[in-house]
Amino acid sequence: MTSERFKDQTAIITGGADGLGLHIATRLVEEGARVWIVDRDQERGKAAAERIGCEFELLDVADEVSVNAAFEKLASDRGPVDVLVNNAGIAHVGNLETTTSEDLDRIYGVNVKGVYHCMRAAIDGMMEGGQGVILNMASIASPLGIQDRFAYSMSKGAVLTMTLSVARDYVEKGIRCNCICPGRVHTPFVDGFIKKNYPGEEEAVFDKLSKYQPIGRMGKPEEIAGLAVYLCSDEAAFITGSAYDIDGGCTLLR
Protein backbone atom coordinates (compact mmCIF):
# COMPACT_ATOMS: atom_id res chain seq x y z
CA MET A 1 0.00 0.00 0.00
CA THR A 2 1.36 3.41 -0.95
CA SER A 3 -0.13 6.87 -0.55
CA GLU A 4 0.87 10.35 0.48
CA ARG A 5 -1.31 10.72 3.57
CA PHE A 6 1.77 11.73 5.57
CA LYS A 7 3.67 13.68 2.93
CA ASP A 8 6.05 16.25 4.47
CA GLN A 9 5.31 14.97 7.98
CA THR A 10 7.99 13.82 10.41
CA ALA A 11 7.22 10.83 12.62
CA ILE A 12 9.11 9.29 15.52
CA ILE A 13 8.41 5.68 16.47
CA THR A 14 9.90 4.48 19.75
CA GLY A 15 10.79 0.80 20.01
CA GLY A 16 10.78 0.70 16.22
CA ALA A 17 13.46 -1.93 15.65
CA ASP A 18 10.98 -4.80 15.45
CA GLY A 19 7.47 -5.96 16.31
CA LEU A 20 4.59 -3.49 16.34
CA GLY A 21 6.87 -0.47 16.15
CA LEU A 22 8.51 -1.67 12.97
CA HIS A 23 5.16 -2.46 11.34
CA ILE A 24 3.86 1.00 12.19
CA ALA A 25 7.06 2.63 10.93
CA THR A 26 6.87 0.66 7.70
CA ARG A 27 3.32 1.80 7.03
CA LEU A 28 4.21 5.42 7.72
CA VAL A 29 7.16 5.26 5.34
CA GLU A 30 4.92 3.72 2.66
CA GLU A 31 2.46 6.55 3.14
CA GLY A 32 4.98 9.35 2.67
CA ALA A 33 6.20 10.20 6.16
CA ARG A 34 9.79 11.03 7.04
CA VAL A 35 10.25 8.39 9.71
CA TRP A 36 12.79 8.19 12.48
CA ILE A 37 12.77 4.97 14.50
CA VAL A 38 14.44 5.04 17.91
CA ASP A 39 15.42 1.96 19.85
CA ARG A 40 18.01 0.80 22.35
CA ASP A 41 19.00 -2.13 20.10
CA GLN A 42 21.46 -0.54 17.70
CA GLU A 43 22.10 -3.56 15.49
CA ARG A 44 18.45 -4.39 14.89
CA GLY A 45 17.47 -0.74 14.69
CA LYS A 46 19.99 0.07 11.98
CA ALA A 47 19.02 -3.02 10.01
CA ALA A 48 15.33 -2.16 10.26
CA ALA A 49 15.85 1.45 9.19
CA GLU A 50 17.91 0.40 6.19
CA ARG A 51 15.33 -2.19 5.20
CA ILE A 52 12.32 0.16 5.20
CA GLY A 53 14.10 3.34 4.15
CA CYS A 54 14.07 5.58 7.21
CA GLU A 55 16.46 6.91 9.83
CA PHE A 56 17.55 5.36 13.11
CA GLU A 57 18.71 6.81 16.41
CA LEU A 58 20.06 4.79 19.33
CA LEU A 59 17.98 5.76 22.33
CA ASP A 60 16.83 4.47 25.70
CA VAL A 61 13.51 6.18 26.38
CA ALA A 62 14.08 5.78 30.12
CA ASP A 63 17.01 8.24 29.89
CA GLU A 64 15.51 11.75 29.91
CA VAL A 65 18.76 13.49 28.94
CA SER A 66 19.21 11.26 25.91
CA VAL A 67 15.58 11.69 24.87
CA ASN A 68 15.84 15.48 24.99
CA ALA A 69 19.06 15.42 23.00
CA ALA A 70 17.58 13.15 20.33
CA PHE A 71 14.46 15.28 19.90
CA GLU A 72 16.55 18.45 19.72
CA LYS A 73 18.70 16.85 17.04
CA LEU A 74 15.64 15.94 15.01
CA ALA A 75 14.17 19.41 15.41
CA SER A 76 17.38 21.03 14.14
CA ASP A 77 17.55 18.65 11.17
CA ARG A 78 13.90 18.42 10.17
CA GLY A 79 11.80 20.71 12.29
CA PRO A 80 9.18 19.81 14.91
CA VAL A 81 7.76 16.32 15.22
CA ASP A 82 4.34 15.94 13.58
CA VAL A 83 3.62 12.39 14.75
CA LEU A 84 4.92 10.65 17.87
CA VAL A 85 4.16 6.97 18.43
CA ASN A 86 5.16 5.82 21.91
CA ASN A 87 5.54 2.10 21.32
CA ALA A 88 8.62 1.19 23.38
CA GLY A 89 7.83 -0.99 26.36
CA ILE A 90 8.92 -3.97 28.40
CA ALA A 91 7.04 -6.76 30.18
CA HIS A 92 7.20 -8.47 33.56
CA VAL A 93 5.59 -11.61 34.96
CA GLY A 94 4.60 -11.55 38.61
CA ASN A 95 1.91 -10.67 41.12
CA LEU A 96 2.14 -8.28 44.07
CA GLU A 97 4.03 -10.78 46.22
CA THR A 98 6.62 -11.74 43.61
CA THR A 99 7.21 -8.26 42.16
CA THR A 100 10.17 -6.58 43.80
CA SER A 101 10.71 -2.86 44.18
CA GLU A 102 13.47 -3.15 41.58
CA ASP A 103 11.09 -4.86 39.16
CA LEU A 104 8.56 -2.08 39.63
CA ASP A 105 11.15 0.65 39.09
CA ARG A 106 12.41 -1.01 35.89
CA ILE A 107 8.92 -1.28 34.39
CA TYR A 108 8.00 2.21 35.52
CA GLY A 109 11.20 3.67 34.06
CA VAL A 110 10.48 2.44 30.54
CA ASN A 111 6.72 2.05 30.25
CA VAL A 112 5.67 5.16 32.16
CA LYS A 113 8.57 7.58 32.33
CA GLY A 114 9.66 6.65 28.80
CA VAL A 115 6.28 7.75 27.45
CA TYR A 116 6.41 10.89 29.61
CA HIS A 117 9.93 11.77 28.44
CA CYS A 118 9.06 11.51 24.76
CA MET A 119 5.75 13.39 25.00
CA ARG A 120 7.40 16.17 27.00
CA ALA A 121 10.27 16.42 24.51
CA ALA A 122 7.86 16.69 21.57
CA ILE A 123 5.15 18.93 22.98
CA ASP A 124 6.84 22.34 22.68
CA GLY A 125 7.52 21.88 18.97
CA MET A 126 3.96 20.69 18.38
CA MET A 127 2.57 23.74 20.19
CA GLU A 128 4.76 26.06 18.17
CA GLY A 129 3.45 24.50 14.99
CA GLY A 130 -0.13 24.51 16.24
CA GLN A 131 -0.63 20.83 15.49
CA GLY A 132 0.60 17.34 16.25
CA VAL A 133 -0.46 13.79 16.93
CA ILE A 134 0.59 11.57 19.83
CA LEU A 135 -0.33 7.91 19.84
CA ASN A 136 0.52 5.82 22.90
CA MET A 137 0.63 2.04 22.99
CA ALA A 138 -1.44 0.99 25.99
CA SER A 139 -2.89 -2.50 26.47
CA ILE A 140 -5.99 -4.43 27.43
CA ALA A 141 -4.18 -4.47 30.77
CA SER A 142 -4.93 -0.74 31.03
CA PRO A 143 -8.67 -1.08 31.78
CA LEU A 144 -8.77 -4.76 32.78
CA GLY A 145 -5.58 -5.75 34.53
CA ILE A 146 -4.03 -9.10 33.63
CA GLN A 147 -3.46 -12.01 35.98
CA ASP A 148 0.14 -12.28 37.19
CA ARG A 149 1.12 -9.00 35.47
CA PHE A 150 1.02 -6.60 38.42
CA ALA A 151 3.78 -4.20 37.34
CA TYR A 152 2.94 -4.34 33.66
CA SER A 153 -0.76 -3.65 34.28
CA MET A 154 0.19 -0.75 36.55
CA SER A 155 2.33 0.79 33.84
CA LYS A 156 -0.23 0.41 31.06
CA GLY A 157 -2.94 1.86 33.27
CA ALA A 158 -0.71 4.92 33.62
CA VAL A 159 -0.28 5.13 29.84
CA LEU A 160 -4.06 5.26 29.44
CA THR A 161 -4.56 8.02 32.00
CA MET A 162 -1.59 10.04 30.70
CA THR A 163 -3.19 9.86 27.26
CA LEU A 164 -6.49 11.24 28.55
CA SER A 165 -4.75 14.00 30.49
CA VAL A 166 -2.63 15.15 27.53
CA ALA A 167 -5.63 15.05 25.20
CA ARG A 168 -7.61 17.28 27.56
CA ASP A 169 -4.78 19.73 28.24
CA TYR A 170 -3.75 20.27 24.61
CA VAL A 171 -6.94 19.89 22.58
CA GLU A 172 -7.15 23.66 22.11
CA LYS A 173 -3.53 23.72 20.93
CA GLY A 174 -4.31 21.57 17.90
CA ILE A 175 -2.69 18.47 19.38
CA ARG A 176 -4.47 15.13 19.40
CA CYS A 177 -3.56 12.30 21.78
CA ASN A 178 -5.01 8.78 21.68
CA CYS A 179 -3.97 5.30 22.69
CA ILE A 180 -4.41 1.78 21.41
CA CYS A 181 -5.19 -1.08 23.80
CA PRO A 182 -4.14 -4.30 22.04
CA GLY A 183 -4.75 -7.79 23.24
CA ARG A 184 -2.09 -10.40 22.62
CA VAL A 185 -0.36 -9.85 19.30
CA HIS A 186 1.95 -12.42 17.70
CA THR A 187 5.35 -10.74 17.46
CA PRO A 188 8.93 -11.95 17.95
CA PHE A 189 8.63 -10.60 21.50
CA VAL A 190 5.86 -13.12 22.26
CA ASP A 191 7.88 -16.01 20.87
CA GLY A 192 10.92 -14.98 22.90
CA PHE A 193 8.84 -14.47 26.03
CA ILE A 194 7.33 -17.95 25.77
CA LYS A 195 10.69 -19.57 25.07
CA LYS A 196 12.30 -17.85 28.05
CA ASN A 197 9.55 -18.42 30.60
CA TYR A 198 8.09 -21.76 29.47
CA PRO A 199 10.93 -23.88 28.05
CA GLY A 200 9.69 -27.18 26.64
CA GLU A 201 6.08 -26.01 26.75
CA GLU A 202 6.21 -23.53 23.89
CA GLU A 203 3.52 -25.06 21.69
CA ALA A 204 1.02 -25.62 24.51
CA VAL A 205 1.54 -22.14 25.95
CA PHE A 206 1.24 -20.50 22.54
CA ASP A 207 -2.05 -22.32 21.99
CA LYS A 208 -3.33 -21.29 25.42
CA LEU A 209 -2.39 -17.65 24.88
CA SER A 210 -4.00 -17.67 21.44
CA LYS A 211 -7.27 -19.07 22.76
CA TYR A 212 -7.41 -16.42 25.49
CA GLN A 213 -8.86 -14.15 22.81
CA PRO A 214 -12.52 -15.06 22.17
CA ILE A 215 -11.87 -14.70 18.44
CA GLY A 216 -9.52 -17.71 18.78
CA ARG A 217 -6.14 -16.30 17.83
CA MET A 218 -3.62 -13.59 18.59
CA GLY A 219 -3.67 -10.36 16.67
CA LYS A 220 -1.40 -9.69 13.72
CA PRO A 221 1.06 -6.78 13.85
CA GLU A 222 -0.28 -5.39 10.59
CA GLU A 223 -3.76 -5.20 12.12
CA ILE A 224 -2.49 -3.01 14.94
CA ALA A 225 -0.42 -0.95 12.51
CA GLY A 226 -3.47 -0.28 10.35
CA LEU A 227 -5.36 1.22 13.29
CA ALA A 228 -2.30 3.15 14.45
CA VAL A 229 -1.70 4.76 11.08
CA TYR A 230 -5.36 5.72 10.76
CA LEU A 231 -5.35 7.42 14.18
CA CYS A 232 -2.21 9.35 13.24
CA SER A 233 -3.70 10.54 9.93
CA ASP A 234 -5.86 13.54 9.11
CA GLU A 235 -8.72 11.10 8.51
CA ALA A 236 -8.92 10.83 12.31
CA ALA A 237 -8.79 14.60 12.84
CA PHE A 238 -11.96 14.50 14.99
CA ILE A 239 -10.58 11.86 17.37
CA THR A 240 -8.72 12.72 20.56
CA GLY A 241 -8.76 11.40 24.12
CA SER A 242 -9.84 7.96 22.97
CA ALA A 243 -8.62 4.48 23.87
CA TYR A 244 -9.15 1.90 21.14
CA ASP A 245 -9.52 -1.76 22.11
CA ILE A 246 -8.17 -4.11 19.43
CA ASP A 247 -8.14 -7.39 21.26
CA GLY A 248 -10.07 -10.16 19.52
CA GLY A 249 -13.02 -9.68 21.87
CA CYS A 250 -11.19 -9.79 25.23
CA THR A 251 -13.09 -6.79 26.51
CA LEU A 252 -16.31 -8.75 25.97
CA LEU A 253 -15.27 -10.69 29.06
CA ARG A 254 -15.31 -7.70 31.39
d(CA 111, CA 113): 6
Q: Hey, how many other C-beta atoms are within 10 angstroms of the C-beta on 96?
A: 7
Catalytic residue status for 116:
no
Beta bridge pairs of residue 14: 38
Asked if residue 35 lies in contact with residue 82, where contact means CB atoms within 8 angstroms, the answer is no
Catalytic residue among 152, 170, 212, 244: 152
- Is residue 62 a contact partner of residue 113, using CB atoms and an 8 Å limit? yes
The Cα 156–Cα 151 span in angstroms is: 9
∠ CA 163-228-40 to the nearest 5 degrees? 80
Tell me the catalytic residues: 152
